[in-house]
A and B are shown apart, each in its own frame.
Chain A
Amino acid sequence: MGFLGSLGRHILKFIQALGFSSVFLFQALLTKPRLKSFHLLLKQFYVVGVLSLPIIIFAGFFVGMVLGLQGYTVLVKYGAESALGQMIALTLVRELGPVLGGLLFAGRACSALTAEIALLKTTEQLDSLRLLGVDPLHRVIAPRLWAGFFCLPMLVLIFNAVAIYGGYWISVDWLGIDGGSFWSSMQSSVDFRQDIINGVIKSIVFAIAVTWIAVYQGYVASPTSEGIGYATTRTVVYSSLVILALDFILTAVMFTGLK
């Protein structure tokens, strides 16, 4: 009984939070855009997107190189090392790009978003905005949401491109695979609609989920220094788990039954 009771309470709390955060999301997004606020959006593109670039490029390059090394040791047993390009590209475009890109984004950009919004709340800056007749959902939350929605898919594309280059470098310059067959195996097997578009859809879904989590956790954080820390931790944990769970669901829907 005690267990069931507390389970029930947790489920109720979860549904309530889902309701609140949905209202929050729509209130923030359903506003008519104003030319005056365009610079706010640009600033967030810089903070969320450009500042995440170094970690995405660095990680992408190493992931691509590891894929090259690992793939080679398996494929060479079957004399299929010329399919290395295909293996690297498909793994990245379908899975690793969106998932790893999303996880890195959660750790780098989402945690920063939560901490920043929670700090604005703690220092009463959100209330100051209200007192000056400005809705913080429009001024603070909306540009951050849009920036997150757009930047993560872009970052994933960049991650994939860099990783493929890293894989190419290992395979061709290190392991001595023929460069022509590396590219041609990739070109003949990667399908634009099936693979690339589905990968981009994944990254868009992840972007919406993790950015939403990040700004909401910041907005409802309890306004103390402790609260900021908790909220930031929650953002990283929730968004990482949500990425992995959503990835399973999307993969099941998109890729089962493929050759």
Chain B
Amino acid sequence: MPQNSITEPKVSMRDIHFSRGNRVIFDGVNVDIYPGKITAIMGPSGTGKTTLLRLMTGLLKPDSGDIFVNGENIKDYSEAQLNHMRRGMGMLFQSGALFTDMSVFDNVAFALREHTDLPESMIHDVVLMKLEAVGLRGARDLMPRELSGGMNRRVALARSIALDPDIILYDEPFAGQDPITMGMLVKLIRLLNDTLGLTSVIVSHDISETSEIADYIYLLSDGKVVAQGTSEEMRASTSAHADQFMHGKADGPVPFHYAAPDYYQDLMRINEE
């Protein structure tokens, strides 16, 4: 497809259909995540960006369509196979989702203790390295309830890179971060991606940060990919969707409002009874 057509995509989603009850979330979505690149998934709130990440990791199953991870179709994977595959993936949840009964240190050490036989001294060093990378080495003894929202998500980031995964999925990494941390996170994501040769997927609303680091952008709306391309292509795009979203315009194909009756009539209760 678009980018370097010689390399195989790391994750490839083909013609994905997915519904929640009667509500169609995806109606034929194709997304390719190429190795060594940072791919951004953007789109209005509630279009299913988080859902897309859950499908990629096998936490949800599509109604139809295929998902290939490292060339293998994960459709018929058992839970054990999925768990094995997920060790090569890190995911930063939108809510952080730290284990509330463990300290910051133990959260980050969790996967290492679970899946490796490293001696505790080695685990100690690895955990401190990961915490240092997100600037929270000093917070190692705190419990998750003692962290601010932004710190919580940075610890979650440290936890998701503990096993050195080769794919990392970030669900809104910049939300709730101050400008300094934001700049640091942008650098960190880029650094992880380039020095360790990771493959990254970022879900975000922050157009400036995202277009600064993303190699490729998918714009989702109404269950479909409505625009895709590099950030220059997207900014220059004449597609109405891309234009509206990249420049933050209220008017365009994506309505700001959830479907509702006429505002004036609603206020005046004209259509009631």
Contacts and interface: CB of A to CB of B under 8 A. Distances in A.
B99 A134 contact: no
B82 interface: yes
Given A132-B110, A134-B114, A127 B93 contact: yes
Nearest to B169: A131
Interface in B76-111: 79-80, 82-84, 86-87, 89-91, 93, 95, 97-100, 110-111
A27 B100 CA distance: 25
A135 B81 CA distance: 11
A43 to B, nearest CB: 9
B23 to A, nearest CB: 16
B79 A135 contact: yes
The residue in A124, A125, A127, A133 that gathers the most chain B C-beta atoms within 10 A of its C-beta is A133
A173 to B, nearest CB: 46
A128 interface: yes
B269 interface: no
Interface residues of A, number: 12
Contacts of B113: 36
Interface of B: 54, 57, 59, 79-80, 82-84, 86-87, 89-91, 93, 95, 97-100, 110-111, 113-115, 159-160, 163
A74 B90 CA distance: 70
A125 B144 CA distance: 12
Contacts of A125: 97-100
Contacts of A225: none
Contacts of A133: 83-84, 86-87, 111, 114-115, 163
Interface in A119-137: 123-125, 127-128, 130-135
Given A125-B100, A135-B83, A130 B59 contact: yes
A108 B84 CA distance: 37
A128 B83 contact: no
